[in-house]
Structure 1
Amino acid sequence: MSILLSRRRFLGLSAVGTSALFLNGCDRLTQNEDVQRVLEKAETLTETAQRTLLPRGALAREYTEADLSPVFKVNGTSAPDGEEYARLMAGNFADWRLVVDGLVRQPLSLSLTDLKRLPSRTQITRHDCVEGWSAIGKWTGVPLGLLLQSAGLLPNARYIVFYCADDLGATLDGTGRYYESLDLVDAFHPQTILAYGMNGVDLPVGHGAPLRLRVERQLGYKHAKYLMRIQVTDSFAAIAGGKGGFWEDLGYEWYAGI
């Protein structure tokens, strides 16, 4: 194994180890201020180490079709509840639109057909879930950086926030809508794509149809499914619980690099 891959594996194990505290149901620990400070330092260490040790454009390992997993587990929501998503799904997502707004010069509203007409990237990568399982899949989609360039980021843009159709129950903002966020480094990474295809076919509902985020250098909970809106902002402090993501608001690390 190369030094680069060894470092990447070390970073991944560090992130998994920290997040495992939450998966084991340690609610009292996560509410302890001293423990929270330790976890925040661990997250900062993980982010600093990865950004220092790995070149900014370093790619996650890519595989061949022979490596595809025979079963790729559906995690999280298998299909969003609600009449709106059901209507969109019944129409094969013909009426679905992805909105890109916020700190941009040119807001966008794109259909699935619009996205499929844009330059695409296909990559075969390993999905690493914080629950401890992994699977290899083939993803096709539009590089996120391409859309952001088309929209034109304003000078004060710092974060990209992804809003989703799935509802996982009431959270700090009272809605439970799934959301996630990235900084500009990961948003413009060449393997960060908005995927509409999986294993050579249209993205299945269970895996996030019609569109999901693939950010291959981070753990699975960052790969938001059922995308509806992308907002460019200078802060996520006033969004939901202010931590930058659904699970982050409940105690997970915002930076989940591997």
Structure 2
Amino acid sequence: MSAFVLSRRRFLAAAGATASSLPLAGCDALDGLVGNGSRVRDFLASANSITYRAQRLLVPADRLAPEFAESEIRQGQRPNGSTDPGDATYLALKQDAFAGYRLRVSGLVERPLHLTLAELRNMPSRTQITRHDCVEGWSCIAKWSGVALTRVLDEARVKPEARYVVFHCFDSMPLGLGGSVAYYESIDMLDAHHPQTILAYGLNGAALPVANGAPLRVRVERQLGYKMAKYIKAIEVVADLAPFGRGRGGYWEDLGYDWYAGI
């Protein structure tokens, strides 16, 4: 692994430790420092844009993340972040083994969808054994099964002006004195159409456990783990990220993480 990746990961880990303490402390002093229009925020945004452009320039769009042999799976996939959402709708779905689950696909599409788990499983599937790299510094190899996101988007017929895919989730996360907010995340269309970007419903040969994001989570294998939203409720195809959260493209990004977390 290059020194660039290692140093970037250390920076993200430090930033993440600071950001994750903010909701607990209820500190809004940083809002003035990194709020919209601040010089610090503008600088961080420009640095992230440079990183994004550099990686897109240097890494071919179709390059695959490393895949591993089944013998290299040495432990179960480590749960992290939310592990059991308390949302009432989610709890009802879980009680019924997600039989009533419907994945809503909307936004800049010609054909909005409401897909059951059975319909998702009946689509051509992909299984991949990949390494999950967390911003906290740990890694874990696991086998994921699911449908390629690009197949779902093709079914929905994405409009030409689409630039991003936003994942809306059942789990909520703390946000200082403001209480909690629904978790969300986003990726660009290039990653959305990458063959290893899948909507996973299976883990290590079994149904995806609740602790790891059941009934559905996204795998974006060329980015860090916080980009891989769990407990997906809906997918929205959009041209602009500004209307969501604080406009930075994800829950952690709204607290200071990079939007593009390529590795």
Could you tell me the TM-score, scaled by structure 1's length?
Answer: 0.91
| Contact 1:192–1:214 (Cα < 8 Å) also in 2 | yes
Paired residue for 2:11? 18
Superposition RMSD on alpha carbons, in Å? 2.1
Deviates more, 1:237-246 or 1:166-175: 166-175
Q: Which runs of 5+ in 2 are unaligned?
A: 23-28
| Contact 1:163–1:177 (Cα < 8 Å) also in 2 | yes
C-alpha distance in 2, partners of 1:37/1:25?
18
2:86 counterpart (81, 87, 90): 81
| Contact 1:11–1:257 (Cα < 8 Å) also in 2 | no
Give the 3 Å change call, closer, same or farther, for CA 93–62 of structure 1 in structure 2.
Answer: same
The correspondence of residues 20-169 of structure 1 with structure 2, limited to 5 A, is: 20-25=13-18, 31=33, 33-169=38-174
| Contact 1:159–1:234 (Cα < 8 Å) also in 2 | yes
Question: What amino acid maps onto 2:48 in structure 1?
Answer: E
| Contact 2:16–2:257 (Cα < 8 Å) also in 1 | no
Question: What amino acid maps onto 2:148 in structure 1?
Answer: P
2:197 counterpart (192, 195, 206): 192
4+ aligned runs moved over 6 Å, structure 1: 26-30, 171-174
- In the alignment, structure 1 residue 180 sits paired with structure 2 residue 180: no
| Contact 1:107–1:151 (Cα < 8 Å) also in 2 | yes
Q: Which runs of 5+ in 1 are unaligned?
A: 1-5
Paired residue for 2:218? 213
Give the 3 Å change call, closer, same or farther, for CA 123–11 of structure 1 in structure 2.
Answer: farther
C-alpha distance in 2, partners of 1:225/1:12?
25
C-alpha distance in 2, partners of 1:140/1:228?
18
- In the alignment, structure 1 residue 236 sits paired with structure 2 residue 229: no
Question: What amino acid maps onto 2:156 in structure 1?
Answer: A
The Cα offsets for residues 147-178 of structure 1, whole Å up to 9 and x where unpaired, read as 10110011211110000000112479865100
Question: What amino acid maps onto 2:91 in structure 1?
Answer: A
Question: Could you say what secondary structure the match of 1:218 adopts?
Answer: coil
Deviates more, 1:242-251 or 1:167-176: 167-176
Deviates more, 1:185-194 or 1:16-25: 16-25
| Contact 2:120–2:147 (Cα < 8 Å) also in 1 | yes
C-alpha distance in 1, partners of 2:216/2:262?
22
Deviation at 1:49, TM superposition (A): 2.2
Paired residue for 1:3? none
Aligned residues between the structures: 251
